[in-house]
Amino acid sequence: MSGIHWKPARIGFGRLVVAVVAMVAAHTMALAEDSVRTRDGGTLRGALVSVSPDGVDIEESGGEIKKVSIVELDELVLDGEPEALRGARGLLRRRDAAGAAEEITKIEEAEIRAFDPRIREEYDFIRIASNALAATNETAASWEKQLVDFLQKNARSHHFYYGSEILGDLRARQGKFVEASEAYRNLDRGPPALRVRSAAARAGLLMRQGKYADAIKEFSAAEKIEANESDAASARQKLEAVLGRARCLALSGKAAEGTSVTESVIKDAQPEDKDLLALAYTTLGTCQRAAGGKDQDAIISFLTVDLVFNTVPIAHAEALSNLVELWNATNQPERARAASQTLVTTYPNSSWAAKLSGAEKAS
Amino acid sequence: MRLFIPLVWIFSFLVTAQLVAAETAADTKPETAADTATRSLLDALEDKTMPDVSLAILERVVADPTASPELKKEVPFRRAAAMVVLSRTEADSKKRAAYLDEAQASIDAFLASGGVSDRQAISAYTQKANLLIERGRAKADQANRPGADPAPLRADAVKFFDEAIKSLQGVAKPGQEIKEVKNAEDAVLKVLREVNEKVRELEQAAAAAQAGGPGPNSARATAAKTSTAKAAAAQAAAAEANAAQAFAAQAAQASQATAKAAGPKPSPAAAKAVAAAVKAAAEAAKTAAMKVATAQAAAAEAAEAKKAAVQAVAAAKADDAGKAKPARASAKPQKELERLTADQEALQGKLIQTRLMTAATYFEKAKAYPAKSKEWTDTLTKSAALFKEAAEKYSNKGGGLFARYYEGRNYALLGQYPLAVETLVDLATIEDKIPLAILIRSRSLNTMLECLIALKKYDEFDESARKFALEDIRRLPGAQLDADWLGLKYRAAVILVARGDQLDQKDPKSNADRKKLLSDAKKLATEVAKANLDFSAEARELAAKLGKEVEEGPRTFAIVMDDAKLLLTTMQERNAELKKAIADKDEAKAAAAKEAATAARTETVAKLEEAMKLAGIANPLAADVSSDDALEGASKDEINQARYLLTFLLYESQRFEESAALARLLVDRYPNAKGSRQAATIGLSAWQQVAQRAEGAARDEARVKAAELATTIIQIWPDEDVSGAATTVLIGMAVAARDPVAIAKVMDQVPATSSKRGEVLLRAGAALWREVQEIRRVKDSPTRPDDKVIEAWKSRARTALDEGLAGVASGGSLPAGPLGALTVAGALSRVQIAMDDDDTAKALAILEQPVYGPWVLVTAKNPVLQQGSLPEASLTLALRLFIQAEKFDLAQQAMDGLEQLAGTGEEASTKLTSMYLSMGRDLQSQLEQLGAGKAKDPQVRAKAERILGGFEKFLDRVASRDTKISSQFWVATTYLTLGSGKGTGAVVPKDKADRYLKRSAEVYGNLLSKKDDPEVARFEPSIRLRMANIYQELKQWDEAQEQLDWFLADAKRQNSLDTQIQAAELLEAAAVDAAMNGDSEKANKLYREASGGRRGKPVVIWGWNDIANKVGRQGIEGVDERSRQARSTFFNARYRSFATLLARARLPGKEAEKKSSLDKADAAITMTHNLYPDLGGPEMLAKFDALLKQVQQEKGVANPQGLPAAKAPAPEEEGK
């Protein structure tokens, strides 16, 4: 599943912990200050009073309690958290899972146990999530288990949905499609944007299995999930579902239709929505390749991802993988080698790097 | 000389981006994501040097109806920029020029298109100037190459530079209104004035609002003050960033220019300069980026402050009015002011850049003149004056600093050392430690020291400068040991030594000072020597003089490559000498030059191999991946350049296989490297050379390799010349192999846009048609393709020839040389195809086509048709076609042409006869082909009738009117051809054939009656043999025998095997005829004579037995072609002899001799089989077997078995 818009924020709590936090916050308000960054660029500072999978409540210095829903929440920074934890979260936000996993090792586990339980929970999540995202075939099962444990123990964490999605992705990578689907279904408990995301993720599983007709139905269903007109987050998620449908159309022999659908998404996209555009141009390139005889168009689409919208690792890796093939096909071996090098050095654990490695061995 | 142009290049791209940004900002319509993505991608591609992709994108933008007009507007600039980048990777100078032409045309068309905004004009004129400068520099470089004729090249260069200056330099005077924009500077000025005016209006409005308030407002005053301060800081930061960018650009340009200057024959120093310049560019870019970031931050802060100030003004105004309007009420004018201010700054920067570019272009132009010439001095002086003007005008800006530096540099170059020192002294003494200051100081000081040495003013090298020179540059931010630093350090050392030499060694204090000076000098010289780059040799010498031997630095790829390139230059010079010596016919000089060139080549190869090893590539031919990754101290481009040079030199050294292998590596792994295309062509030639020199499997392998390489080349560069060469190789191989499938495949492969397509199609079409004709002649062969396949090939040949000929026709004239000959050959093939199609009109149209028509060319005596077999082929085909079309006058002209072509003298008649025979064979083949098809088809018959009708009429006409011997020969020969062709029987009725034969015999007879004519006398034997044939065909045995007897009565001719065979055949044919007529006695006698010969004097006929005996030994023992023919004759004669025995046994009334004849035949066949089991091959074996069975049958054998082993020949024998 691509186009993750989760930005790991802060830990989740059980009811008891929340109460404790609220009390502590009330008493230490003058000394401690948490902060919540929202997706529109705003920052709220104060004391957390409530945390749940659906969002957080924060009491500002004036005593006013502000609610931030999970789809609006960009980052939650806890007062007193170690610098390395913040750094690891930053790397994870930039989708550098391997970097985050490495950064978090700078924190002594014994040391973190002495911290506030909220910080310990945040530490656990970032450590497990980053390692799960960067997991290899050998380590995937171990991190899957740790992630399941975390979600069970922290069912009220605001990371719950994000964690569930990571779990679904991890299982999907291992070919455990039924289990992956179950994990994605956790998102159905959330607001409409997450329900769209859940449905699209499950459609993606069908696509991975080559069940394009079924996948198209699922993507279409995701597009039709009811949401308010003002719900921009849902509308945004639906565009990803549209792209999923376009890809399935291309892969099932309807490349022209897929191209047309993708172009309509690009036409209506906001120029600053780089994540969506990364997915859109990757999909467009896929449609163009599926159409046959459009290698030059496909190169341009994948280059757009490589050189302009390269912030979504999975899309970037896919674009690079395609570029390796396309450059070779168009007699540009030096460019193919450069793309190959970028792929294996930037995304060594990606399926696209593995595919490339497999292809090289086979040849 | 340091080069300035990079300034131009980099600025041009920055300016384009700025322009776009400004225009986008001015446009209220938001840009779509697709447009933004496309623009960002194009920007990124410029950095990535992928001009091909950029061009593909721009094509799509043009064709895309959804692309915004703004984006479409950018296409010409982007396209021009891409073409320029493309030109830099192109090794072929013609193509490079073509790219630049196209880029320039793109911009010119844009400028001429109308509706060009002033902002667009800024970019367009700047880009145009860049192009012209690039071209001027290329010409100036060419002028400096050995062997070049510099005067015209320099004149061209000057023209380009003048045009560039025209595109850059403004013509409007200060304060003068600019009505029409014709250059970049005026365009900038015009736009800047407009922006200035708008800014003034908005500021006045804000000031008026402020003045209109009830009194001082502290918040407003504070905001305004802060705004002013921040704006000043931002301006300062921007100036610094400007300067840094300029320097970065300059360094980058210097790197490019130095690399370019290194060219095909770079000196070691030049190569080192390239490396140094690249480093400097990188560092300067880093510094510039830093400065730009700082400036941007400052600008943002200033904008914030300004915003606050404007808001304060608005709020105060609102307060004053007693209305608490929200601050956002003033957002629109405030935002507009911000935008305009930023735009204003950008335009001011652009104005400075444009003026500096103009000055720099004069500097470049100076290089197009011989150094120290009046023009050189004047131009450099003009450049200095412009730099001076800019330096004074922008003394507080980064651009002004650079202008000052360049001004000083120009003075130094002009030899105006005191003025140079005076100009540079301030810059050379900057004490600041920021990278930009260090950079400008090092360069200024270097130039200044050069001047001080020239002026011998060593004392002006003060303590501060000495300290700066001695700095460990690793500790200086942003500094690199580049050419300027090396120059500075070396020159500082020289000055220190000079100062030391002035001190009194006897005075202890002076001596101590001297020692200190020399110690510093030694330190500096050693540092420079160790760097092994610029000034290393001089520094090494100086250090040695100062008492310390400086060891040579380690040998690196770059150093050895420098050596190799130097040797290459030597080789080229020797080759030029060789060429001249050959032209002068000075053998001794030529031999010496050749030897020297060979030695230089061998040494260059060795150096290149050494360089590759130093880069970690043990085997230059190895195509392993590790060789890519193991590069030590060398870029892939440099390695590939070495590979290309090696490919060329190995070929020159006749190490063809190595050369080809290296070419293959470049083609496969680095097709886009400079020189790979040329290497590919060399590789093709190399494999061809190997194929020519090798035999057997090695030759086949070389051909396969050549074909593989050619195929790859076509795949990689379908539209380029190299692909044309590859296709030519492929078609040549397919034609030589006489492989119609391969020929057709090459036709499929040749790209539609290939420059060689026409040539390949003509060659392929003609070859394919030739193969079709050949294959048609082969009957009953198991390998003969299906008729449909053959017809498909014919169709392909027709299409290919039509396209090839159309290409020539559109060119308007016949190409000279081999291509012209190929065209005529193609046209002749096409005429034949049209005749084969019974499309006489088409055939005539091609024959008489004005550009390539063979008839037109041959009658006009076109030089292409003055040699080889083309004139003859053209005239004989024309003759045949004109006769067929009943254009008898033209046919007569063709005959006259053939006679002229045959010339005069002894050989003429033979030649003419040969030509007529050739035409007759073609005619016969045409009729046979008709007969082989649907002979009974009315259309086929009608066609045959038309052909024959035309010939009959014409031959009769010639026979009656033209009494020339040659004409009579032709008539007789053609009648013979028409009447005697065995395959023509289907379309030439027997009675008509007999009539033709009689007519032929008649004409020949007439000729024999003119035996006094020496020409006839010379051909009498030939005529009589032909007459014998005719009479044989007509079953006029006695007449036939009479002709043969005449021939065989001559003892000299009795040993003619062909005539003896003809005589035996005649006797046998006469016997068959006698038997059929019931005359057994006569038949028996004739059979016996056919077999055993006739010994009457003076005529001696050998008969089949003696014929076999005569050729037996050679046929059985020999292995060559003649022996194979003798072997065939031997077995055929035996067979015919045994067949006469059977024929005699079957004659009515000869029963008494029957058994004896059959036993003889049985025994003879069996014995022959025992002696020669294969009996000459499967075909003859089968015939002998069938003959024996008939003999056995005649003998009454119930179940004739034939030959014992005839039924199942050993498998290995079958193929023999």
Q: CB-based contact (8 Å) between A267 and chain B?
A: yes
Q: A13: helix, coil or strand? A: coil
List beta partners, residue A57: A50, A67
By Cβ distance, the residue of B33, B48, B716 closest to A266 is: B33
Pairwise CA distance, residues B1028 & B1016, whole Å? 17
pLDDT score at B780: 66
Q: To the nearest 5 percent, what fractions of chain B are helix, strand and coil? A: 80, 0, 20
Which is it for the CA torsion A155, A160, A161, A166, positive or negative? negative
CB A267 to CB B34 under 8 A?
yes
- Chain A's closest residue to B60, CA to CA, is A297
Return the SS3 of A211. Answer: coil
Confidence at residue B1140, expressed as pLDDT on a 0 to 100 scale: 93
ipTM above 0.90, yes or no: no
C-alpha B849/C-alpha B814 separation (Å) is 11
Contacts of B896 by beta carbon, 8 Å cutoff, 6+ apart = none
How many whole angstroms from its chain centre is CA B201?
Answer: 61
Please indicate if any CB of chain B lies within 8 Å of the CB of A295. no
Contact state of B37 with A304 under an 8 Å Cβ cutoff:
yes
In sequence order, what are the residues at sequence separation of 6 or more whose Cβ sits closer than 8 angstroms to the Cβ of residue A260? none
Q: Classify the C-alpha dihedral B674-B675-B678-B684 as positive or negative.
A: negative
B45 touches A: beta carbon within 8 Å:
yes
Q: What is the pLDDT of residues A154-173, one digit of tens each?
A: 988 999 999 999 999 999 98
* Contact call for residues B638 and B684 (beta carbons, < 8 A): no
Mean pLDDT per 10-residue segment, chain B (1216 residues): 34 39 47 89 83 92 89 83 80 80 85 79 85 87 80 92 94 87 92 91 80 49 48 49 49 43 38 41 48 49 50 47 40 72 86 90 92 93 93 80 90 94 90 82 93 92 90 81 90 93 87 86 82 78 68 67 75 86 89 91 90 81 52 72 91 91 89 87 90 84 89 84 83 83 86 82 92 79 82 93 92 86 93 90 93 91 81 89 85 84 72 74 74 69 78 76 76 81 68 86 87 80 86 87 84 83 90 90 91 81 90 77 84 93 88 86 90 85 91 89 61 36
Written as one string, the DSSP assignment of A131-171 is HHHT--TTTHHHHHHHHHHHHHHTTT-TTHHHHHHHHHHHH
Tokens of B998: 């009689």
pLDDT at B547: 66
Q: Do A334 and B715 touch (CB under 8 A)?
A: no
CB-based contact, A308 to chain B, within 8 Å: yes
* Chain A neighbors of B66, CB-CB under 8 A: 267
**Tokens read off for B1144:** 């005699």
- Residue A361's pLDDT band, with cuts at 50, 70 and 90, is low
Residue A93's CB is within 10 A of a number of other CB atoms, namely 15
For testing contact with chain B, the best of A316, A331, A340 (most B CBs within 10 A): A331
Q: Does the CB of A363 have a partner CB in chain B at under 8 Å?
A: no
| Least Cα separation, residue A269 to chain B (angstroms) | 6
Task: Give the helix/strand (H/E) hosting B910.
Answer: helix B906-932
Q: Of B41, B60, B636, which is closest to A303 when you measure between CB atoms?
A: B41
User: By CA distance, what is A299's nearest residue in B?
Assistant: B53
Q: Shortest Cα distance from A117 to chain B (angstroms)? A: 40
Indicate whether A141 pLDDT > 90.
Answer: yes
CA distance B41 to chain A (A): 6
**SS3 category, A237:** helix
Measure the CA dihedral B281/B282/B286/B292, to 10°: 40
Q: Distance from CA of residue B727 to its chain's centroid?
A: 11
Number of H-type helices and E-type strands within chain B: 48, 0
pLDDT at position A214 is 95
Given the structure tokens 């609002």, which residue do they identify?
B209
A277 contacts B33? CB cut-off 8 A: yes
Cα separation, B159 vs B490, in Å, equals 38
- Say if CB B1137 and CB B1064 are below 8 A apart: no
Nearest CA-CA distance, residue A336 and chain B, Å: 10
The one-letter amino acid at B927: L
Indicate the helix (H) or strand (E) that contains A37: strand A34-38
- For an interface test with A, the pick among B35, B53, B58, B670 (most A C-beta atoms closer than 10 Å) comes out as B53
Query: Is the distance from CB of B153 to CB of B143 less than 8 angstroms?
Result: yes
Task: Say whether residue B626 is in contact with chain A using an 8 A CB cutoff.
Answer: no
Instruction: Report pLDDT for B617.
Output: 80
Which residue in chain A has the smallest CA separation from B56? A296
For residue A332, which residues of chain B lie inside 8 Å, CB to CB?
671-672
pLDDT tens digit string along A203-247? 999 999 999 999 999 999 999 999 888 888 999 999 999 999 999
A271: nearest CB among B36, B670, B672: B36
Q: Is B628 on the interface with A (CB under 8 A)?
A: yes
- pLDDT of B451 reads 95
A303 and B716 within 8 Å at the Cβ level: the answer is no
Rg (Cα) of chain B, in Å, rounded?
Answer: 46
pLDDT tens-digit readout, A16-58: 233 333 333 333 333 358 889 888 778 888 888 888 898 898 8
Helix, strand, or coil (residue B18): helix
Count CA atoms within 13 Å of residue B975 on its CB side: 28
- Check CB contact under 8 Å for B669 and A333: yes
Instruction: Compute the half-sphere exposure of residue B551: CA atoms within 13 Å on the CB side of its CA.
Output: 3
- SS3 of B366-420: HCCCCCCCHHHHHHHHHHHHHHHHHHHHCCCCHHHHHHHHHHHHHHHHCCCHHHH
pLDDT at A223 (0 to 100): 95
Q: In what order do the strands lie in the sheet with A43-52?
A: A65-69, A55-60, A43-52, A34-38, A73-77
Q: Write out chain A residues lying below 8 Å of B41, CB-based.
A: 300, 303-304, 307-308
Are the CB atoms for B800 and B752 separated by under 8 Å?
no
What pLDDT was estimated at residue A22?
33
Cis peptide before B718 (omega within 30 of 0): no
Residue-level pLDDT at B29: 55
Q: In chain B, which residues have their Cβ closer than 8 Å to the Cβ of A307?
A: 40-41, 44-45, 48
Of A271, A307, A333, the CB nearest to B671: A333
Give the helix/strand (H/E) hosting B306: helix B268-320
Distance in angstroms (rounded) separating the CA atoms of residues B963 and B967 = 7
Is residue B674 less than 8 Å (CB to CB) from chain A? Answer: no
| Chains A–B, number of C-beta pairs less than 8 Å apart | 62
Which strand (E) or helix (H) includes residue B766?
Answer: helix B757-777
Whether residue B876 contacts residue B898, with contact meaning beta carbons closer than 8 Å, is answered with: yes
What letter does residue B481 receive in the DSSP assignment? -
- Interchain contact B70–A (C-beta under 8 A): no
Q: In angstroms, rounded to a whole number, what is the distance separating the alpha carbons of residues B2 and B413? A: 10
Q: Does B1081 touch chain A (CB under 8 A)?
A: no
B912 touches chain A (CB under 8 A): no
The three-state secondary structure class of B1101 is strand
Task: Using an 8 Å CB-CB cutoff, list chain B residues near A266.
Answer: 33-34, 37
Taking the Cβ of residue A36 and every Cβ of chain B, the question of whether any pair is shorter than 8 Å is answered with no
Polymer length in residues for chain B: 1216
Distance CA A1, CA B162 (A): 60
- Which among A303, A333, A337 is the nearest to B53, CB-wise? A303
Contact A333 B48 (CB under 8 A): no
- Check: pTM over 0.80? Answer yes or no: no
| Rounded Cα distance, A134 and A127, in Å | 11
CB contact under 8 A, B57 and A270: no
Contact B45 A303 (CB under 8 A): yes
**Which residue has better confidence, B1207 or A182?**
A182
Q: Which residues of B touch A271 (CB under 8 A)?
A: 30-33, 36-37
Could you give phi then psi for residue B262, rounded to 5 degrees? -60, -35
Mutate to test the interface with A, among B29, B35, B41 (most CBs of A within 10 A): B41
Q: Are the CB atoms for A25 and A32 separated by under 8 Å?
A: yes
Per DSSP, B750 falls in state: S
**Residue B63 with chain A: CB contacts under 8 Å:** none
Q: What are phi and psi of A67, to 5 degrees?
A: -100, 135
Distance CA(B633)–CA(B621), nearest Å, equals 19
Count of C-beta atoms within a 10 Å radius of residue B256: 21
Q: Which residue has the tokens 């005889």?
A: A293
Contact B457/B264 with Cβ under 8 angstroms? no
CB B1044, CB B1066: distance < 8 Å? yes
Query: In terms of Cα–Cα distance, which of B1115, B1107, B1108, B1121 is closest to B1174?
Result: B1115
A300, B42 in Cβ contact below 8 A?
no
Rounded to 10 deg, the angle between the A160-173 and A140-153 helix axes is 160
State phi, psi for A65 to the nearest 5 degrees.
-95, 125
> Phi and psi of B42, rounded to 5°?
-60, -40
| A308:B66 CB<8 A | no
Does residue A165 contact residue A4 with C-beta atoms inside 8 Å?
yes
CA distance A323 to B188: 41
Residues 6 or more apart in contact with residue A345 via CB below 8 angstroms: none
The residues with which A76 forms a beta bridge, in sequence order, are: A36
**Between chains, do B672 and A270 touch, taking CB under 8 Å as contact?**
no
The bridge status of strand A55-60 relative to strand A43-52 is antiparallel
**Residue A211 CB coordination number (10 Å):** 17
What's the gap between Cα B547 and its chain centre?
Answer: 57
- What is the per-residue burial (b if ≥16 Cβ within 10 Å, else e) of A215-235? bbebbbebbebebeeebebbe
Query: Taking CB atoms and an 8 Å limit, are B668 and A333 in contact across chains?
Result: yes
A-interface mutation test, from B31, B36, B55, most A Cβ less than 10 A away: B36
Nearest CA-CA distance, residue A77 and chain B, Å:
26
Kindly determine whether residue A299 and residue B715, on different chains, have CB atoms separated by under 8 Å: no
- In Å, how far is B522's CA from the nearest CA of chain A? 46
Coil, strand or helix at A61: coil
